[in-house]
Each structure stands twice: as structure tokens, then as C-alpha cells.
A and B are shown apart, each in its own frame.
Chain A
Amino acid sequence: MARASVHIAALIAASLAFAGVARADDLAPYTIVGDGIPTSLTGSPGDAARGHALVLARTTTCILCHSGPFPETRFQGDLAPDLAGAGNRWTVSQLRLRLVDASQFNPETIMPSYYRNDGLVRVGRSFAGKPILSAAEIEDIVAYLATLRD
């Protein structure tokens, strides 16, 4: 009996700790207009140079799937369109929505939703409740993609 209650206490403590880890970070609110998000998630424009570095960074995962005008690395994927010329094909508003939630363009897409923290299955403990990218990182990447013009 005493043993059982210790176990239960431990279980409760563990599940509280887990709930603490899994609690969602708050996301900045945004409004979809047409096929885009017209206003910056942070309220200010992103930094294209930082965006360039982010797209190339392994941790943002973009070039796992995409290739692009990146002569500095040969580790590029070909599961997705080449990013060269993305700034011609899409407006800033469309690019922002594409990063926030690409399933708005194609419900079956394999491109992850970079600004989402719920409705996902079995997210790893250290990632639970967090979006893949922060609002500021999204803005930096959007600013960079907009410069990719043929």
C-alpha cells in the first residue's frame, strides 16, 4: 500500500514534469489573407543576410530537401524545387505563408510547417511544443528568399 502510493506520487510528479516540457510556446498571431500572410510576424522586416545563413544551416532543414544558388555547399537535396528564382515566383506574403504552413498550398506536401506547435504526432521531447523556427528566423528567411531573383 505504502509502496503503491509512492509510485503514484512519482507518476504524478513525472507527468507534471512532462506537461511542463510539453507546454506549447506561444506563437505570434497572424492572419492569412488570400494565399499569403501580408504582415511580418515580428512587426519588422527580416535581415536577408541572416536569412541566407539560416537557409544553409543544417538545423533549419531547408537544404535537406531543396537545392538553390548555394555554390558554397554540395550537401543539397533534390526532393523539392530549386530555390533559385523563388523571389520571382512568389510574393513576400506568399513566401511567409509557405514557411509558416506549406500545407495551405498543397495539403499533401512533405514540406514541414515551420511555425506550428500543435497537432503533431510523437514529437521528440526536446522539440515538443516549439515551432521549428522562431518568428524572427522566418522573417529573416523570407527576406532572403525575396532576393532570389533570376
Chain B
Amino acid sequence: MSVWRAIAAAALFAAAPALLAGEIPPDARRSGYSFMGLETRAMQDDDTANPGMLFVLDGEQLWGKKTGSAEKACADCHGDARSSMKGVAARYPAIDKALARPVTLDQRINLCRANHQQATPLPYESRDLLALSAFVAHQSRGVAITAGDDPQAKPFVDQGRDLFMQREGQLNLACTNCHDDNFDKRLAGAPITQGQPTGYPLYRLEWQTLGSLERRLRSCMSGVRAQAYDYGSPELVALELYLMSRAHGLSMETPAVRP
């Protein structure tokens, strides 16, 4: 594997100057889906069995519902999400021009609530926020990820990469130690994947609910006994952005199902 990867990396060196040692070359990138058992895959593939689809349906309702003191629904500005939201999640986190920094899809939804609906922000991991982001991201199912292509995003992608490579916590492990160097192996019997962010928000059987990418990153950090960054913190946003740029070209699959 590592010899093959080294050869692939060498072959790609000219084409992909941004690839650092240990990073996974584009044609070796695999969604977490490919690491799962047949049953979990079947559950993801069948919309009538995929528990994440219930959130997508809730999100569709919320999309059309007037809210806030502006009495406006998402649909009043954006129309039919099937066309207006197609491909959007594949570009997030994206730079917000006014803030001059990247914002996640969750943050974008709350910015729209504050600025256009005059509504209060939805708390992280609340059912309504997960439902809306699942509904929006679902419109990108099958679309190739391009987040991080914006040259303005570069410093934030780099910050995220540094965080990904940084050892941390009492166990002194970095994301890269598991997700670049040891995917396809087993941690306490469970498969380690490449940590690709393709399916979020996704339904995790262990959680018994839908959860955001930030929830997942925070649990990896707690796993190595590090102090997890707060939801919405610049560090988590940068990590998310790096993960998306690292998944460049993989297809979105929201809502995915994971064990």
C-alpha cells in the first residue's frame, strides 16, 4: 500500500504540487462508504430505509416555512432548492465576502436567518439546523466536491492542514496518524477510514441520530483526549475546509449512514 502510494504520489507530483508527504493522492481518495459493511451501505442507498431522509423531509418543510420578524421563508429568496441549492454544499465552507473568512453551511443558514429572516440562530446540532443543512446538502448528492478552490480560501485551508497534522491530546495523536497513515486498518476492531467529509450531516448508528461534521471532529478530538474546539470556532471551520479540499473530486452523498 505505502509503496504503491509513494509511486502514485511521485507520478502525480508534477500535476498536483500542493500534495504534501503522507497526503492521499486524488485517485486513491475513498469515501467512508467504501469501508462499510453491506448492510450499512444498503441502508444508505435506499431512501426509504435511510433514517437521514426523515431529516431531509423535515428540512424541506422548513425551507418553505415563513419565519422570523421578516416573515420570509428560505424559498421566498431561493425558490426551488432542487435547482438553486444544487452543488452549493459541495463548495462549503465558503468565503463570506463581508466577514472575509470561511463560513460553514450551518453558519450560512444562521446568517440568512439573522440577515434576511430576522430570526434567532438555530443552535448547533438542533433538529431544525440539521434538517435544513441535510435538505440543502442533499441537493448536492452526486456533485463533486470543490470547496477550497477559491484562492481567498487558501490561508484557511493551510490553517486546517496544520491542525490536521498537529499531534494533540493526552494520547498525542494527529488526524493524519489515523486518516492518512492508517486507513484500512482497525482501531479496537472498527475500521478506520480516510476521514472524508462527503456525507454530512449524516446518520450515525452509534449516535442514533443525524450529526454534523463538527460533531464528528469533536468526538475524534475527545478520543485522543484533547480539548475539543467549540462548535463554529475558527479552528473547526478551518479543519472542515481542509477536509473538503482534501476530498476534492469525491461526490457528495448527504445524508450518508455510518456505523
Contacts and interface: CB of A to CB of B under 8 A. Distances in A.
A62 to B, nearest CB: 10
Interface string A54-84: 0000100101110000000011111100000
A79 B190 CA distance: 11
Size category of the binding interface on chain A: 20 to 34
Contacts of B186: 76-79
A61 B171 CA distance: 9
A127 B225 contact: yes
Nearest to B222: A124
Interface stretch (A85-93, A115-123, A137-145): A115-123
Interface string B167-211: 111111100010001100111111010000000000000000000
Given A64-B187, A78-B185, A79-B187, A122 B177 contact: no
A77 B188 contact: yes
B227 interface: yes
Interface residues of B, number: 24
Contacts, number: 69
Contact of A127 (B166, B170, B192, B228): B170
Given A77-B189, A78-B186, A110 B173 contact: yes
Main secondary structure, interface of B, reads loop
Contacts of A63: 188
B75 interface: no
B6 interface: no
B259 to A, nearest CB: 14
A38 interface: no
B226 A75 contact: no
B169 A110 contact: no
A101 B190 CA distance: 26
Contacts of B170: 112, 120, 123-124, 127, 130, 132
A113 B222 CA distance: 18
A142 B168 CA distance: 26
Contacts of A79: 182, 185-187, 192
Contacts of A76: 186, 188-189
B171 A132 contact: yes
B226 A65 contact: no
A75 B191 CA distance: 11
A75 B168 CA distance: 24
A120 B169 contact: yes
A125 interface: yes
**6 nearest A-B pairs in the assembled complex, by CB-CB distance:** A75-B189, A127-B170, A121-B168, A75-B188, A122-B168, A112-B171
11 contacts: A77-B188, A78-B186, A79-B185, A120-B169, A120-B170, A121-B169, A122-B168, A122-B221, A122-B226, A124-B170, A132-B170
Given A113-B172, A123-B169, A124-B169, 4 more contacts: A75-B190, A110-B177, A123-B226, A127-B170
